[in-house]
Amino acid sequence: MAKSKATRKSGETMKMTSSRETVVQGMDDEELQRALADDIISASEDEGGSDDERKHCKLLEAISSLGGKKRKKLTERSEASIQVSEFTVNAEGEGDKINLSDLIGTLDKTPSALIKTKKQLKNLQHNQSTLETPLTRKETEKIQREVAFEKTSKEVSRWQSVVLQNQKAEQLVFPLNQEPSGPKRIEQVVAGWKAQTPLEQEIFSLLRMNKQPLHDPVLTPTEEASLRAMSLEEAKIRRAELQKTRVLQSYYEAKAKRERKIKSKKYHRVQKKVMRKEYLKQFDEMVKTDPAAALEELKKMELSRMKERMSLKHQNSGKWAKSKAIMAKYDDGARKAMQIQLEVNKDLTQKLVIPADEDEEDEEESAETLPDFVNDVEPILDQVNPWMRGKLSTEPMMQEESNRLDPPVWPREVGKPGEGWDDQEEDEEQMEETEEESLLRGFEERRKLRQTEDVEVAPMSMEENDDEKKAEILDISDDDEEAVEISDDEEAVEISDDEEAGLSNFTSLFHGLVKNHMEPPADQPKASPGAGQEESPALLEEGLVRVRTLEDVELLSQDISASDTALLTTQTPGTEETDTQSATQQADKKRKRKKMIDPNEVLTKEAKVIEMPLAPTAIEDVEDKEEQRIIIKEAFAGDDVISDFLKDKRKQEEAGRPKVIDLTLPGWGEWGGLGLQPSRSKRKRFRVKVAPPPPRQDQKLPNIIIAEKRDSSIAAHQVCQLPFPFENPTQFERTIRSPVGHTWNTQNTVQKITAPKVVTQLGAIIEPIAREDLIKNNRQAVTRPSINLESDQGPQKKRCSQQKKKHKRKRN
């Protein structure tokens, strides 16, 4: 009862408080007032502190009266302000008016601390403008509401992804977070379980000693935490990830093993090249994205190069190399091996050249399709040819240097347009550099070239003279491997050529021969080996001329001999004034030398050539209309719409006409068999003629086809409109056409197809989605991409394995 009373009382007080706010007052209000009064009284009574004081006073009085001398003490009302006043104002001069100055007077006595406030006061006095009135309550509330709404809506929007996900889900299983099946702990099943038997108690005391959990959490806190850290699904995901990585790893290992066993050198060479290219590309990207790392990489490369240059490794100076050198004369393999060594050396000592722009990359890609030797052979021969530029094996600096140093050797190199022009500009800049620098560079270059020369000399020395070699080379069969070898040789030769300004006639001849021997299938199908000597420089020139501007051609045409110009004019139509030439001729020529044509150049030229023959203008009307009609007529000359329509109609009529049904069967009353026809009488007898259909509705309408196919009895079952989610009829038809039943599908498929969208458990309460689900979902969304990352590691691993392989090879 007491409790209920208390509640009632509290209810009343509640009402009291609210009654201040509300205007409405009913019958109960009087009661309320009374209750309020009661409350106040009781409150005054309850002031225990003052009570005590009074008692204390009485006690003192009693004690003083004990002394016999009875003294009447005047009780006096005392005011604290008389004794102490903070502002030196007391109640004595009560009638006086207190001025602000009286109050401030104290401020003078306490100077330093109050200067600040003084200043502020002064400022306030000076400041004439009034403060802005505070916003009304309504407005502040509005602002508050808006802010709160923003916050809440943002919070709620976190669910968007979950909601969408659930909408798109193929199947939803409710209740959402079902407890995992399996045995449960006894504490979960039975509440308030206690150890009772002595054995149990003993066990529990032991547990307590070992600080194991006793009651509800059977797991230790750390175990609990670990359990909480990873849910079952997460664990599953993680396991799947690990499985995947393991599988991938084993796969790549197996692949690497298999690749290691491949003996084909060509394969490895190609592989290496691909790898290098990839590496380069990566490096390129790195240059763009992470310059610091790229620099680091560059330094590393430089270091390795330096090391290689310092060491005698791969220099064919070791014991093995010497032995090989002896054998090289007789043994192709030995020669090849040495060659490989040199190649390695070359590779390692080369400065890395990053392709300058996209064009060159493209060129690289195009070069990829060509056989190896094309890339390997002529890094310098091709320097004029843009398609062959930008390779690893060449060093532009060097080339430029050589160009600059040896103008007489490459006279036409000077007029290199496009990028060549830029190079030239650079060259000019370089010319301005100090002599010292150029000298230094010259030394370095020399050193480098010497190395290559050494390389070159070793095999050369084996041969008695160049004639022999030439003969040998000419004898060489078309075998690819051989070709590669030749190319290598040639390259080396060229490098040596570069170094020595005075290029001997003989070597040039040799070049020409070799080149002719190599190139005919690729570049010049018509070129005869005999003409090669003369044409090889011409070919190079073409490469130059092709990318040259018109002025250059004009300039050059004065210099070049008549025969040369003739060649040029026939072979480089792109540079000529092409307006007069017919497009077909152009195309012909282009086809001939497809590989050599710069697409940009061709495109611009074409744009010039093509002109709109008839551009109808709006001003001339009558003639124009006529013209237009003609144009349209011309445009649609091929298709005759009317006759097509007539044909269509005839076809439809044909289809609508009833066919004679032939029901004759062979045998049945006469002989049947191969080559025997049923008798005419029988055929006549079993041929059923169908009554002609009613005349077509469009019979007398020449330009209309009325389709009479629609069958109303079937139409009742047909879909007449494309239903909503489908975009075209074929899409819809496809869904209809694929059967779902077990007559056409296997058991599993049927189960999969017919799985219901919402699955509920019988008798299970479905709780609303909880915040934990949101968090779980988010975490899943985070973890999913990581799986992808894992799978993306494939190529990297591949690269790793390749690198490993490379190292292994080097060791060999």
Partner 1 sequence: MKVKVLSRNPDDYVRETKLDIQRVPRNYDPSLHPFEVPREYTRALNATKLERVFAKPFLASLDGHRDGVNCMAKHPKSLSTMLSGSCDGELKVWNLTKRECVRTLQAHEGFVRGMVVSFCGTSFFTVGDDKTIKQWKMETPGYGEEEEPLNTILGKSVFTSIDHHQKEGVFVTCGQQVDIWDEQRSNPIRSFSWGVDSFNCVRFNPVETELLASCASDRSIVLYDMREATPLKKVIMNMRSNTLCWNPMEAYNFTCSNEDYNLYTFDMRYLDKPVTVHMDHVSAVLDVDYSPTGKEFVSASFDKTIRIFPKDSGHSREVYHTKRMQHVISIKWSSDNKYILSASDEMNIRLWKANAAEKLGLLAPREKSAVNYSQKLKEKFQHHPQIRRISRHRHLPKSIYSQSKELRVMKEARRRKERNVRKHSKPGSMPVVTEKEKHVVTVVK
Exactly one of 35, 89, 107, 172 binds partner 1 (CB under 8 A); that residue is 172
Q: Which stretch binds partner 1 (CB under 8 A): 2-10, 436-444, 470-478, 562-570?
A: 2-10
User: Is residue 148 part of the contact set for partner 1 (CB under 8 A)?
Assistant: yes
DSSP one-letter code for 219: S
Q: Two tokens at 249?
A: 């790893």
The verdict on 177 binding partner 1 (CB under 8 A) reads no
Residue 89 or 172 with smaller CB distance to partner 1:
172
Quote the least distance from Cβ 578 to partner 1, whole Å.
Answer: 57
Residues 6 or more apart in contact with residue 703 via CB below 8 angstroms: 645
680 binds partner 1 (CB under 8 A): no
- Segment near partner 1 (CB under 8 A), from 10-18, 71-79, 184-192, 439-447? 10-18
Span interacting with partner 1, options 227-235, 303-311, 630-638, 731-739, rule CB under 8 A: 731-739
Q: Which of 767, 781, 791, 810 binds partner 1 (CB under 8 A)?
A: 767
- Contacts with partner 1 in 541-570 (CB under 8 A)? none
Does 718 bind partner 1 (CB under 8 A)? Our answer is: yes
> Which residue's CB is nearer to partner 1, number 183 or number 756?
756
Contact string (CB under 8 A) for partner 1, positions 16-55, x = contact: --x---x---------------------------------
Q: Which of 93, 529, 739, 785 binds partner 1 (CB under 8 A)?
A: 739
Query: Of 214, 270, 298, 750, which one interacts with partner 1 (CB under 8 A)?
Result: 750
Instruction: Based on the shown chain and the rule CB under 8 A, indicate whether residue 142 belongs to the binding site for partner 1.
Output: yes
For 697, the 3-state DSSP assignment is: coil
- Is position 762 an interface residue for partner 1 (rule: CB under 8 A)? yes
The candidate with the shortest Cα–Cα distance to 686, out of 713, 710, 668, is 668
Residue 770 binds partner 1 (CB under 8 A): yes
Q: Is residue 8 close enough to count as binding partner 1 by CB under 8 A?
A: yes
CA distances from 89 to 107, 108, 109, 115, 153 (A): 13, 15, 15, 22, 59
Contacting residue, 35, 89, 159, 581, with partner 1 by CB under 8 A = 159
CA distance 491 to 497: 10
By CB under 8 A, is residue 152 in contact with partner 1?
yes
781 binds partner 1 (CB under 8 A): no
Tokens of 345: 């050396």
Phi first, then psi: give them for residue 272, nearest 5 degrees: -60, -40
Check residue 414 for interaction with partner 1 (CB under 8 A): no
137 contacts partner 1 (rule: CB under 8 A) = no
Kindly state whether residue 736 participates in binding partner 1, applying the rule CB under 8 A.
yes
Instruction: Compute CA 659 distance to the chain's CA centroid, rounded to the nearest angstrom.
Output: 63
Region near partner 1 per CB under 8 A, out of 36-44, 83-91, 145-153, 620-628 = 145-153
Instruction: Rule CB under 8 A: choose which of 561, 617, 723, 812 binds partner 1.
Output: 723
CB under 8 Å to 94, separation ≥6 — which residues? none
Rule CB under 8 A: is residue 760 a binding residue for partner 1? Answer: yes
DSSP code of residue 174:
E
Q: Give residue 83's identity as a one-letter amino acid code.
A: Q
End-to-end, the C-alpha distance of the chain in Å comes to: 101
Q: Is the Cβ of residue 101 or residue 157 nearer to partner 1 in the bound state?
A: 157
Interaction of residue 145 with partner 1, rule CB under 8 A: yes
In the bound state with partner 1, the residue whose beta carbon lies nearer, of 203 and 722, is 722
How many residues lie near partner 1 (CB under 8 A)? 64
**What gap in Å lies between CA 571 and CA 763, rounded to an integer?**
88
Two tokens, residue 317: 């100076």
Helix, coil or strand: residue 269: helix
CA angle 514, 520, 524 (to 5 degrees): 125
Residue from 201, 697, 735, 786 touching partner 1 (CB under 8 A): that is 735
DSSP string, 654-676: HHHSPPPEE---SSSSS--STTP
* DSSP assignment string, 430-457: HHHS-HHHHHHHHHHHHHHHHHHHHHHH
Pairing of strands 661-662, 687-688: antiparallel
Bridge-based pairing state of the strands 172-174 and 687-688: unpaired
Q: Does position 729 bind partner 1 by CB under 8 A? A: no
Assess 190 for contact with partner 1 (CB under 8 A): no
Residue 520 near residue 539 (C-beta atoms within 8 A):
no
15 token code pair:
């009402």
Residue 527: left (phi > 0), alpha (psi -120 to 50), or beta?
beta
Judged by beta carbon, residue 174 or residue 320, the one nearer partner 1 is 174
d(CA 235, CA 570): 73
With binding defined as CB under 8 A, does residue 720 bind partner 1? yes
Using a 10 angstrom Cβ sphere, with 0-12 exposed, 13-18 middle and 19 or more buried, the burial of residue 514 is buried
Q: Which is nearer to partner 1, 354 or 770 (CB)?
A: 770
Binding residues for partner 1, per CB under 8 A? 4, 7-8, 10-11, 14-15, 18, 22, 141-142, 144-146, 148-149, 151-153, 155-157, 159, 163, 166, 172, 174, 716-720, 723, 732, 735-737, 739-746, 750-751, 753-756, 758, 760-771
